[in-house]
Amino acid sequence: MELRNNMRIALGDILKDKRRVALGGHVRPDGDCVGSSMGLYLYLKEQFPHIHTDVYLEEIPEAYRMISGTDEVKTQISGDGTYDLFICLDCGDVKRLGFSEPLFEKAEETLCIDHHISNEAFADHNYIVPDASSTSELVFTLLDREKISRAAAEALYMGIVHDTGVFQYSCTSPETMEIAAELMRKGINGSEIIDKTYYEKTYIQNQILGRALLESMLIMEKRCIVSVIRQRSMKFFQAQPSDLEGIVSQLRLTKGVEVAIFLHEIEPQKFKVSLRSKGVVDVSMIAKHFGGGGHVRAAGVTMSGSSYDVINNITARIALQLDHGKEQDEK
């Protein structure tokens, strides 16, 4: 199998002489963030027992807690927090580390493993492959595959499943499938991981998804779909921010739509914006323009103003790309 690791990042060399290593992922951890962090964490603990390894992540959504070791995750910094190496996973920029950013800043050496096209290589060592399906896939290519345990395989498999939309998005390559096959051979229960962490929804999650779909609107001659969930709805349904995962993907499935825009009001006049595209529009460019980032077909940003301001600002950038596409077609 061809390895994507053509940057020649050798984990063994980087870990040489290290005694304290910390791992950290992005704020509001998603399936790939948890999968890649836990996969690497479990591998390091098993294969490098002489190294003290800690993993720092914000509160992990309940469904992902079936992954081994998630009960050991640190959700805050305790002690002086100095590490010989900080490994940053699935983070497009250093700010996305959230509470663990000071550990990155203080660490003797840093390594970034990521697949966001917006990533500007902010660590000492950078292993960034924008066309990789997921950070979990990249972690796999750094490990000695013979030594990957079933528990680590489960974590990495979950990460790949989530960032490929169950092996469906265009980022799913033949290598992705080969890696998934190798992980399956470790004896994991792939269908259970898919069912329990990806498809299964709580009643609250389904209720709020229903609300978002019901209130959605087609705009820009039906080429975009937009929906907003406000704080009062979150309160009404007693929903957590992580309960909103998957809403924007469902919006994107609407026939004829090119871009899905989902706004979550995190405080008055402030929105977490999720963008998904079917292919023509590069949403990472749009998110980056407003200070966020992500991938060509899935990106996010936090924006201030009224929901109308936010939607107007984003749709103006989408229109630029769609109009440009039209001009190209006419040529």
Burial class (CB in 10 A: 0-12, 13-18, 19+), 65: middle
| Residue 245 makes contact with Mn ion by CB under 5 A | no
- Burial call 177-212: b when 16+ CB within 10 Å, e when fewer: eebbebbeebebebeebbeebbeeeeeebebbbebb
Binding test (CB under 5 A) with Mn ion, winner from 54, 101, 163, 245: 163
| Segment contacting ligand 5GP by CB under 6 A, of 6-14, 59-67, 250-258, 286-294 | 286-294
Determine the size of the site formed for ligand 5GP (CB under 6 A). 17
| Residue 92 makes contact with ligand 5GP by CB under 6 A | yes
Binding test (CB under 6 A) with ligand 5GP, winner from 301, 303, 311, 318: 301
Binding test (CB under 6 A) with ligand 5GP, winner from 208, 257, 281, 299: 299
| Residue 263 makes contact with ligand 5GP by CB under 6 A | no
| Residue 32 makes contact with Mn ion by CB under 5 A | yes
Nearer to ligand 5GP, 189 or 302 (CB): 302
Q: Judging by DSSP bridges, how do beta strands 270-277 and 259-267 pair with one another?
A: antiparallel
- Burial call 314-327: b when 16+ CB within 10 Å, e when fewer: bbebbeebbeeeee
| Segment contacting ligand 5GP by CB under 6 A, of 38-46, 48-56, 91-99, 181-189 | 91-99
Distances (CA, A) of 85 to 89, 129, 199, 277: 13, 21, 36, 36
C-alpha gyration radius of the chain? 20
Q: How far apart are CA 63 and CA 80, in angstroms?
A: 31
Query: Which single residue brings its beta carbon nearest to Mn ion?
Result: 32
| Residue 90 makes contact with Mn ion by CB under 5 A | yes
Nearer to ligand 5GP, 161 or 188 (CB): 161
Q: How far apart are CA 61 and CA 56, in angstroms?
A: 14
Distances (CA, A) of 1 to 115, 145, 179: 20, 12, 9
Q: Which of residues 24-83 bind ligand 5GP (CB under 6 A)?
A: 26
Nearer to Mn ion, 108 or 131 (CB): 131
What residues contact residue 203 under an 8 Å CB cut-off, 6+ apart? none
Least distance CB 309 / ligand 5GP (angstroms): 17
Q: Which residues of this chain interact with Mn ion, rule CB under 5 A?
A: 32, 90, 135, 163
Q: Which residues of this chain interact with ligand 5GP, rule CB under 6 A?
A: 26, 92-93, 96, 116, 118, 248, 274, 292-295, 298-302
